[in-house]
Each structure stands twice: as structure tokens, then as C-alpha cells.
Structure 1
Amino acid sequence: MRLLTAAVTSIALTLGAQAVSAAPIELKFSHVVAENTPKGQMAIKFRDLVAERMGDKVEVKVFPNSQLFGDNKVLEAMLLGDVQMAAPSLSKFQKYTKSLQIFDLPFLFKDMDAVERFQQSEQGQELLNSLRKRGLVGLGYLHNGMKQLSASEPLRVPSDASGKKFRIMTSDVLQAQFEAVDAVPLKKPFSEVFTLLQTKAIDGQENTWSNIYSKKFHEVQPYITESNHGVLDYLVVTSAEFWSGLDEDVRAELKQALDEAIAYGNKISDDKAAEDRQAIIDSGRSEVIEISDAERQQWVDAMKPVWKQFEDEIGADLIEAAAQSNQ
């Protein structure tokens, strides 16, 4: 009887262990924007590719619109194991590494082709590993596009921004950028921007065409200056503990699916920039201001000293390499 009981117990334990091992790995992907944005579409594509190729091995759950965490909290949550993947804007990493501040420098990149060339260069790829000592792993760059300036009054030259309050992401570089034109930068969560604009608690903000359109900022901002003064890209990131804890084959399959999803999202970003710009114009809710070359140069002259201000933190060689990507 004892032998039979022991055998039954052994079988039960074995079956239990198999059931546990068969449970899918849960991967929570948290982000702060709408599902119809390039980031939102990339996350859905990643989820679907994983489901198609990995079956019950890994289950990706996507949480858009700050449902789980805002970008200011998601990295802490990731280090605690509460979320496994996120794609915060590059500005959000300054307390983990100073190098990524390079992407906030105003007028460093003339267009998204230059951004892509730098990100895929040796220096750009090395930046993905700049977070490892802080427990995070960069997995790839996701584009959103070039930033524009929206405001309650027309902005044509730097003096038009003087004294006005602009929402910014948590970034010392972006703070310096607006202070360079005598504006008042306010660090606020992305989820609060529409209300802040609607109630006129702030005068303006900077963002890409897709974010402005998907979050309806154009409905509460009568003017958008086509400045293309900076880039708003994201870093798809996970925790080193989670990533290294995966079996090598699982990690490889996830990385391949993610690379394809990022390429898909970046193509959408390129297409949506033009589409959403036109949709904003067609809405008649906001006037798109096209500044002249001379007016644009005034912005460049006012903001470019920010490069020198952060040269020691970012690295002069890195800034030079990024600037060379415009050639």
C-alpha cells in the first residue's frame, strides 16, 4: 500500500511539474500611447507574431494608454518584475544613462533618414547596451518622427515663445532647449497633456504628427509650427533579469519577432507622419505654420548652444558622429 501511495504521489508530482513547465511565459508590454499610433501598432504586431510562432510558449499582453504605468514609473516597475517590456521615449532614460540624451538635442538631425543612419551605426548600436549596468537591456529603436511645436498663439520666431509654458518630458536637455528661447518648460506626464492644454494650464507642447493627431491635441491647440526641431523616438526595453532568465531559443525567437515588429512600426511611422499632418490640416481645427528658412535659422541659432551645454555628459565624439549622419 505504501509503495502504491508513493507511486501515485510521484506521478502526481511529475504531472504537476509538467503542468507548471507547460504554463506560458507571461510578457506584459506597457506603453502610454493609443493603439492607432506607430508604437501601438508595433506592440500589437509583436503580440500577434509571438502568438503565431510560439504558441503556448509565450503570451504577450499589451497595455496601451498608460493602463498599467506611465513612462515615469514603468522602468521602476520593470526592475521589480511587474512588467516585462516597454517602449518609453528616449528622454525617459536620463537617470539610467546620460548618453541617450543625445536624441533630445535640438536640431541635431535634419530628418528621420539621418536618425536611422545614426541608430544603425556602430555608435548607435552601442547605446543599446548603455543601460545594462542599471539592470535594463535595450532591444531596438522605434521611430515616432520629428517633433513640431504647438501653441495657443502663432510661433514663427524664438521670441514668440518667450514667457509661454510648454509641457516637456522629463529631460534636462528639453528643459534647456525651451529655456534657450526664454520659455517656461514644465515636466508633466503624457497622459495629462490634453487636459493641460484644454484648460490652458499650459500654452503649448512639442510632439510628432501622429501623437498630436491621435491624442487630439490639434483640437485644443489653434497653431502648430512645422519646426522639425527634434526627434521623438522610443527604446524598446526589458529587464536584464527577465531577458537573461529566458532559454536561449525563446530569447532568439522573441528578438526576431520584435525586430520584425519594430520594422513594421517604423514603416507605419513614416507613412503616418504625412497622413496625420494632412488630417490635421483637413480638420480645420489647427493652422499648420510653415516657417521660412530664415525663421528656422533663428530657432537653430537660439537652441544650438544646448549641444555645448551637455557635451561633457553625452560626449563630444558621440555628438559629432550623430551630426555626421546628416551627410
Structure 2
Amino acid sequence: MIRKILNATKTISLVAVTLSSVQAGAANWKYAIEENLNEVQGVYATQFKEYIEANSAHSVQIYPFGTLGESDDIMEQAQAGILQFVDQSPGFTGSLIPEAQVFLMPYVLPESVSEVNYFFKNAKVISENFKVLYAEQDLELLQMFPEGSVAITTQESFHSPADLDGMKIRVMTSPLLVETYKAFGAVPTPLPWGEVFGALQTNLIQGQENPWFYIESGKLYEVSEVITEAGHNIFTTAVMANKNFYEGLSETDQQLVQQGSEVALDYILKYQEGLAEESKAKIKAAKPSIEFVTLTEAERAPFRLAAKDVRAKFIEMTGESGQTILDQLEADLESARTN
């Protein structure tokens, strides 16, 4: 009997030590995004969180837009190691990593959803070239993913660059987006996101661009009269980890993070099927007077021509490194077309 009690005591002690070790190894990882939890970045982050928590003792705390400041603020916190993960569009990262602005160049990414999805899952420019560039900024690039085609909200319809003359269009704080809307004939106006709705409401600006779901969830249609599809871009975002944090993880935890980011990528690509059409229907139901415009190929022609000037500006801003990025991106896009 004494021996059984001693063995039972040893077993209980061993279990207690094991549980204590698991708890001691558990961490709460902080992850900031540029959107709300019910928007695309939030859905991706939630899938990542669920995978991590289901497959480890770690937990993930997600910080939606505005809870830790603007986009520039959360990037600084990620670089400093205050945040372990951050989601940020190249539209804001462009001042930090100029080459990332390649995703803002008009009429480069295809409109075909299947080609876009193949590109983001297989592109060497993301998994190789950009991985190096982000690492130079103390960031471990985990994924880039699309958030849908970009539409432009305005007060009046436009069908040519001449129609945009004098029109103030809000852009993210990216030098290349400024050049894009200059080339398109408008007056580009960089503004942090928190100021956009009020600026549209008071006519300080007359338009802005975003994917359809964000126009709907942000109620931007309430302060706009026309939403135009020019087919000029796909909104792209990037998921990063603080590099020192990532490199300090065990090999098991690094694999966990990589697998979690891949599972979330597959989920978010599937999640977005039909999302733009759902958003359009919600907008039309909420504001029947809103006008939807899709530019014809003939109307897009002068915008495509203007895009050549933007391409030249990108090379001027980024030099040989930018040319290498652009060459690899185009090779990856060709692979997406053929596959």
C-alpha cells in the first residue's frame, strides 16, 4: 500500500511538473491589424489565432484598427518588438520599403481571381525577394495576400483622366500612389485613414480608393455618389513578425507560425469568393441612389497609358533593386497565367 501511495505521489508530481513546464512555455502574442475583426485582415488574423491556440499552449491577442494608433504607429511597435505580429499594406510600408510599392503600380496585377490567388500562393518575389527586404527592416515576412479589386469613390462620375482634373483623391502615404493619381489627372491627397470619412463629408477631398468590402463596412458610400471600377489594382496586404521575436522561437514554434499563416492564407482566399458582389448588394440596398460605373476597355486605355509613367517613377525611386523586383513579379505573373 505504501509503495502504491508513493508511486501515485510521483505520478501526480510528474504531471504537475509537466503542466507547469507547458504553462511556463506558453506566451501571449500580440497581433495588430489595419482593419476591424469582421473585415478581411481580421478574418485572416482570427484564423491564424485559432490555429496557433489549437496547436500550442500559446495565445494570440488581436488589436483591431485604432486600438494602438494608425498604421505607422503599429509598424513602429512591431519593429520595436512591442508587437509580435503586424498586418500592413504596402501603401503604408512604401516609405519604409520602397520596393513594396510595386503592388501599388496600376494595371500590373491581373483581374482574374484564379490568377491572383495562384500568384499570392506561389510567387518567388514574395517568398524570396521581399523576404530579404523585410528582414532588413527587422521584420519576418510571413504572407502577402489580396483583399479584392480596388474601386474609386467620388462625388461625380469620371470616364477619362480629364474628368479627374482638380479632383482631390485621398491616397495612402505612398509616394507611388501620389504619382499614380497625378498621372491619372487628379490631385492626390495623402491622409491617415482616421481622417478620411470626415474629409469626404466636408468636401476637403472628393474621393478615395479601397476594395469593395471596405467601402461597405466603412460606410464610405454614405459620403460618396459614385463608385467606379477602373480595373487598375488589387488591394494587397502583408503579414509580418518582429524578426528578433521570430528568430528567438524554437524550431517547433517557427513551424507553428509558418503553418498557421499558410492555413489562414488558404482560408482568406476562399473566404473572399463572392465578397465584392455581396458588398455591392449591401451598398445598393443601403443607398439605392448610388451609381456604380465600370470603365470600358476604351475608357481604360488612357489610364493604362498613364500607368507607363508610374512604372518609370517606380524604377526611378527604387533603382536596380526595384527593377529586379519588377522583373521577378512579372515572371511570377506569367507563371500564374500559364498555370
TM range (shorter): 0.7 to 0.9
Amino acid at match of 1:234: T
**Distance in 2, Cα, partners of 1:114 & 1:100:** 20
**Farther off after superposition, 200-209 or 36-45:** 36-45
**Distance in 1, Cα, partners of 2:78 & 2:161:** 39
Can you list the C-alpha shifts for 1:224-243, whole angstroms capped at 9, x where unaligned? 01112112111000111110
Alignment of 1:229-308 (within 5 A): 229-283=232-286, 284-308=288-312
Which residue of 32, 35, 38 corresponds with 2:37?
Answer: 35
In the alignment, what sits opposite 1:9? none
Can you list the C-alpha shifts for 1:129-187, whole angstroms capped at 9, x where unaligned? 32112211100012201111110111221111111111111111100001113321121
In the alignment, what sits opposite 1:60? 60
In the alignment, what sits opposite 1:124? 126
CA contact (8 A) 1:32 1:191 kept: no
Q: For structure 2, list consecutive stretches of 5 or more residues without a partner in the other structure.
A: 1-16
CA contact (8 A) 2:154 2:227 kept: yes
**Distance in 1, Cα, partners of 2:313 & 2:52:** 43
Alignment of 1:153-164 (within 5 A): 153-164=156-167
Q: For structure 1, list consecutive stretches of 5 or more residues without a partner in the other structure.
A: 1-14
SS in 1 for 2:30: strand
CA contact (8 A) 1:226 1:291 kept: yes
**Distance in 2, Cα, partners of 1:200 & 1:19:** 59
**Farther off after superposition, 218-227 or 270-279:** 270-279
Structure number with the higher helix fraction is: 2
Q: State the 1:255 CA deviation.
A: 1.7
SS in 2 for 1:86: strand
Alignment of 1:62-211 (within 5 A): 62-111=62-111, 112-119=113-120, 120-126=122-128, 127-211=130-214
Structure 1 vs Structure 2 CA RMSD: 2.4
In the alignment, what sits opposite 1:212? 215
Q: State the 1:268 CA deviation.
A: 1.7
Q: State the 1:285 CA deviation.
A: 4.8
**Distance in 1, Cα, partners of 2:257 & 2:184:** 44
Normalising to structure 2: TM-score of the pair? Answer: 0.85
**Distance in 1, Cα, partners of 2:116 & 2:97:** 19
Can you list the C-alpha shifts for 1:28-65, whole angstroms capped at 9, x where unaligned? 111121222121111112112222221xx211011112
CA contact (8 A) 2:126 2:144 kept: no
Task: Count matched residues.
Answer: 312
